[in-house]
Amino acid sequence: MSQRDTLFRHLAILQMLPRAPHSLSTTTIGLRLEEQGYGMTPRSIQRDLEKLAEHFPLQCHKESKPYRWNYVANYNSDLPALDTVTALTLVLAEESVRGLLPKVAMDKISYKFQSARKHLEGLQGNGFSQWSQRVRAIPNGKSLIPAEIKPAIWEGLTDALLNHYAVDVSYLSRFKGELKHYTLHPLGLVTRDSSSYLLATVNEHEDVRQFALHRFRKVKPSASLYRAQPGFNLQQYIDQGAFGFPLAQEPVKLVARITNSMAWLLAETPLSRDQSLSEPDAEGWVRLEATVPNDQQTQWWIMGFGASIEVLEPRTWREQILQQAREIVARGA
């Protein structure tokens, strides 16, 4: 085998190894190498790993066979070197997701952002050294501080999700305020605004439920056999309005009168693919028509525009908004 082939094989091994506490067995490494066209005996793989460990912070766990390998937990790789455009993209991404992802998730990739900032700050010969005064990402609406999630909880739930095993958990019920104990079968993970949710079936039930990650108190692998849901589709689950507090499964036709400034906003960022906006009438109002989910989230979005929108249809939405307006006026009387 040529030195070139050996180099690429070593790079393939380095790219697949995880950081502690996760690890890969030499058997799994061999299977992944085989998928990339490298036929290796277990002994040859072990020799490769031992050579690489002389130059990289690798750990070998010999408690049982096959041996397991990983990087040390705090290893930060600087290869390949960052270019300026990639560095700027990373600092923009950090600004965007800082208020969305839980701290424990941000900590996992913080070294990438640190490297990007150092790269830009080191470019004294151009304006990129002043990026911190020139780059900002702001949320559309009020941004809340992300709920705190314990690192062990994040590790346990994400590992169970990715490796398909059940977990026994202690979970703080929001409604009853008491600690509940479940066996969960993870199906998905969703970050929404400042909170993250695990989607899972519970015990022997088949329905998919949502669990806020910050309410977990304990997580450990379960002796129960993992029950997969082959027909579950995360995007379909979201599209059906699961995170919008649905009032009904079927969408509704929204018809409303809106101000010209709101029409400008929706012309550039439409509410739906079938949205239509009329020309302004004599009083400057624009007629909006769009198919939208029948959920509370859409109603809250509408009410956020206050007097800039008048809902005509659905009639039930119009009545609900008017009733809330009457209650607000009554409190101020």
Phi then psi dihedrals of residue 201, to 5 deg:
-90, 155
- Cβ burial, residue 327 (10 Å; 0-12/13-18/19+): exposed
Confidence of residue 211 (pLDDT cuts 50, 70, 90): very high
Stretch 136-155: mean pLDDT:
75
What is the model's pLDDT at position 78?
57
For tokens 């941000």, the residue is 106
What is the model's pLDDT at position 253?
95
- C-alpha distances (whole Å) from 297 to each of 43, 191, 274, 281, 287 are 58, 16, 19, 29, 21
Token pair in block for residue 296 = 């509370």
Q: Residue 210's closest CA among 198, 221, 224?
A: 198
- C-alpha distances (whole Å) from 76 to each of 19, 56, 71, 96, 106 are 10, 11, 9, 22, 14
pTM value? 0.57
Phi then psi dihedrals of residue 142, to 5 deg:
-70, 125
Fold observed for domain 3-71: Arc Repressor Mutant, subunit A (1.10.10)
Question: Among 122-136, 188-202, 314-328, which stretch is predicted with the lowest mean pLDDT?
Answer: 122-136
Stretch 153-172: mean pLDDT:
91
As a whole number of angstroms, the distance between CA 313 and CA 83 comes to: 52
Q: In whole angstroms, what separates CA 45 from the centre of its chain?
A: 35
Residue type, 193: D
Token pair in block for residue 311 = 């809902």
What is the model's pLDDT at position 246?
67
As a whole number of angstroms, the distance between CA 304 and CA 296 comes to: 12
CATH class of the region 252-332: alpha beta
Under 8 Å between Cβ of 14 and 56: yes
Instruction: Give residue limits of the domains in the chain.
Output: 3-71, 84-133, 166-239, 252-332
Q: Quick: pLDDT tens for 72-86.
A: 887 766 555 566 777
Residue type, 295: D
Cis peptide before 186 (omega within 30 of 0): no
Length of the chain measured in residues: 333
Confidence of residue 141 (pLDDT cuts 50, 70, 90): low
Confidence of residue 124 (pLDDT cuts 50, 70, 90): low
Token pair in block for residue 68 = 């397991």
Question: Among 56-70, 83-97, 141-155, 221-235, which stretch is predicted with the lowest mean pLDDT?
Answer: 83-97
Does position 88 have pLDDT exceeding 80, yes or no?
no
Stretch 276-297: mean pLDDT:
92
Does position 221 have pLDDT exceeding 90, yes or no?
yes
Does position 27 have pLDDT exceeding 60, yes or no?
yes
